[in-house]
A and B are shown apart, each in its own frame.
Chain A
Amino acid sequence: MQTRQHIARTTAKHAAVAVMMFGFGFAMVPLYDIFCEVTGLNGKIQESVVQTPMEVDTSRNIKVQLVSANNAQMPWRFMALQNEVELHPGQWKQVGFWVSNVTETDMVSQSVPSITPARAAQYVQKSECFCFQQQALKAGESKQMNLVFTISPDLPDDIHTVSMVYTLFDATAFADPQQVVTAAN
């Protein structure tokens, strides 16, 4: 009888481990986001910061390249109004992107940012970004979307150029009514 009980106990314990590991697979999703946020990896800055005046490091100029890209299934026109801007670390800068819904249906978009080199990502701060929310456009509508950002003076000396890429995705299927910013305002 004892052996049978031992087997039952072993089985139950290990089945529990298997169930836990199934949960762990899903736990990797938030863990991944937390890891990226803490380390600033992936250029995923989703948090808006309050625009505070910083000590401006006038001794150097950082070249910021602005790149717009469309995800494969996104028919909108999307472009940066300036391809490149220069700023001193600590200086706040506003740049604009032009976006136009050339289709005949109302759509919602989501931009996903990416910063290169990756280790510059943690020094980029944004007080305003169209990427913080989904952006909606009616059929045929256009608008300018703004980005206000700075690069912290702590940026390592060997980085002279930072590329900020925004990829526009069709998020109509994922439209969140509380998050959508429409062209009307």
Chain B
Amino acid sequence: MTSVATSQEDHGHHGPAKGLMRWVLTTNHKDIGTMYLWFSFTMLLIGGTMALIIRAELFEPGMQLIEPEFFNQMTTMHGLIMVFGAIMPAFVGLANWLVPMMVGAPDMALPRMNNLSFWILPFAFGMLLLTLFSEAGAPNFGWTFYAPLSTTYAPSSVTFFIFGVHLMGISSIMGAINIIATILNLRAPGMTLMKMPLFVWTWLITAYLLIAVMPVLAGVVTMMLMDIHFGTSFFNAAGGGDPVLFQHVFWFFGHPEVYIMILPAFGIVSQIIPTFARKPLFGYASMVYATSSIAFLSFIVWAHHMFTVGLPLATELFFMYATMLIAIPTGVKVFNWVSTMFRGSMTFETPMLFAVAFVVLFTIGGFSGLMLAIAPADFQYHDTYFVVAHFHYVLVPGALFAIIAGVYYWLPKWCGNYYNESLGKWHFWMSFIGVNVTFFPMHFIGLAGMPRRIPDYALQFADFNAVASVGAFIFGLSQLLFLYIVINAIRNGKQATAEVWENPEGLEWTLPSPAPYHSFSQPPEVK
């Protein structure tokens, strides 16, 4: 802890630079974390607007508002923006803010690279979003961009999409390496691996998943680029390639990606529940091992996305059983959260409400995942709204609720002020009702056979679609309330104490609120 600590001390006495250039040139983990979070919130609103366009079109059968081609662009862009622009950067933002404070480090290990990994993102997504205004239109092949839809039949804007994915991939890999380097090298003395807060643990594992699979994603889009522009045939059967190969390579990335979007959420919830149950986390070590097992299993289950492409029986069985195996470590985690709450002195402040909702609703998403894992049944569910219901249950009341819970939980530490608790509760209940009204009926229309990614549908699906659309608008608009609550807390919230909550655990609560611009220039002592 010598050079990094001392170099920070040199300018430790002054605060952030003034003006706009502070944000462009900053290498401070707190500034960069803040920018990541605002960026991801902006993307959430853009991607959410696209979702509302989709739901408005699906409010009743028939074509009302938009052309089918534009509908396809909306489903594609909604998926890409939410996955790569909203959820992932939000987690990186939280990691930037919290990992150094939680392990007692003065900053991230590679502060300049940190600046670069953030500033790549606005350009990546700017490029992706600008395709909407091009003559060819935005990418329209679904966020999974299966070849040959994304190669032979793609709009010419696909090249911008490919470079966009390259950029965000580079950003994620640099972010992941930075987090690993911070956790492995900058922990305060006494902070052994098995003393690290679970948020740090889950992020360490997530970072390893990122450096393992983001390059594979970069590889698969590079293959597309070569097929489109350089006459190769990775995915073109005419030249000896195979479109099914695309799906194998894509899902080899895609399945670990799913866990990249949920493991940090597990970490956040594991921080919040003990605070409001006023009991230490039940089964800390088993949480660490369960998270590692989930990460390992995520590499050997990818073909469960491809049960219907014509896999042989043995392969279907292998991927079916391997997928079901994931339910075990996940069950361990849910058990531990419930046991942490069991006989605790629980209070239900906004972060806790979101965390408890996470546990319940993520479990519903987990169960529908288990149903989809059954290969013979998947032939019925494949590409229906049941799949849409499943992954929205794990990503919206799963990942997104955890992020929101985390923002409420740490916001007083970040800005020094409490948010308005009763508005927070309003936000929670509107989100909770909205999310369930939106996505629960999708299970029914999916089981009844409504395919996903279509702008029009048969009459028998009309009622549930109307209900889902109403829910979507409730959910979407309630996020504007969230924006108001956060701004209100920053501007004129009540001054927060250093501890913020009642005896929360973790080094970040030993710092004053708001956390000083430079923290832990001298490493804290960890018992």
Contacts and interface: CB of A to CB of B under 8 A. Distances in A.
Q: Do A and B bind each other?
A: yes
A15 interface: yes
Nearest to A121: B312
A22 B2 contact: no
Contact of A17 (B1, B211, B238): B211
Contacts of B312: 39, 41, 118-119
Interface string A9-45: 0110011011111111110110010000001011000
Contact of B2 (A1, A10, A32, A112): A1
A159 to B, nearest CB: 13
B3 interface: yes
Interface in B1-33: 1-4
B459 interface: no
B215 A11 contact: no
Interface residues of B, number: 44
B238 A18 contact: no
Contacts of B220: 25
A150 interface: no
B184 interface: yes
A110 interface: yes
B248 A173 contact: no
A173 B249 CA distance: 25
B211 A22 contact: no
Nearest to A4: B3
Contacts of B212: 17, 21
A6 B185 contact: yes
Q: How large is the interface on A (under 10, 10 to 19, 20 to 34, 35 or more residues)?
A: 35 or more
Interface string B304-343: 0000001011000000000000000000000000000000
A22 B1 CA distance: 34
A171 interface: yes
Given A15-B177, A42-B242, A169-B237, A21 B2 contact: no
Contacts of A39: 312
Given A21-B213, A22-B215, A171 B177 contact: no
B216 A25 contact: yes
A167 interface: yes
Nearest to B232: A174
A22 B248 contact: no
B185 A110 contact: no
B174 to A, nearest CB: 9
Nearest to B7: A4
A7 B216 contact: no
Given A18-B215, A21-B215, A41-B312, A7 B185 contact: yes
The winner among A17, A18, A28, A171 for most chain B CB atoms within 10 A is A18
B109 interface: yes
Given A10-B184, A11-B181, A21-B216, A28 B252 contact: yes
A23 B152 CA distance: 24
Contact of A18 (B109, B214, B231): B214
Given A18-B177, A21-B216, A22-B215, A11 B242 contact: no
B242 A32 contact: yes
Given A7-B181, A10-B180, A19 B238 contact: no
Contacts of B292: none
Given A7-B109, A7-B181, A14-B177, A2 B234 contact: no
A48 interface: no
B110 interface: yes
Contact of A119 (B214, B240, B313): B313
A3 interface: yes
B501 to A, nearest CB: 32
A84 to B, nearest CB: 22
Interface in B42-100: none
Given A10-B180, A119-B313, A171 B211 contact: no
A174 B1 CA distance: 59
Contact of B231 (A14, A21, A25, A173): A173
Contact of A2 (B2, B152, B217, B248): B2
Contacts of B205: none
B213 A11 contact: no
B238 A170 contact: yes
B287 interface: no
Contact of B239 (A14, A24, A174): A174
Given A21-B215, A25-B249, A28-B249, A14 B237 contact: no
A22 B177 contact: no
B180 A22 contact: no
Interface string B209-228: 00111111111100100000
Contacts of A110: 237-240
B215 A171 contact: no
A17 B244 CA distance: 26
13 contacts: A3-B4, A4-B4, A14-B181, A21-B213, A25-B216, A25-B253, A32-B245, A42-B242, A110-B239, A112-B237, A169-B236, A169-B237, A174-B238
- Which 6 A-B pairs rank lowest in CB-CB distance, beginning with the nearest? A25-B219, A169-B238, A22-B215, A174-B239, A21-B215, A25-B216
Given A11-B181, A22-B219, 13 more contacts: A6-B185, A14-B180, A18-B214, A19-B215, A21-B211, A21-B212, A21-B216, A29-B245, A29-B249, A32-B245, A110-B240, A112-B237, A112-B238
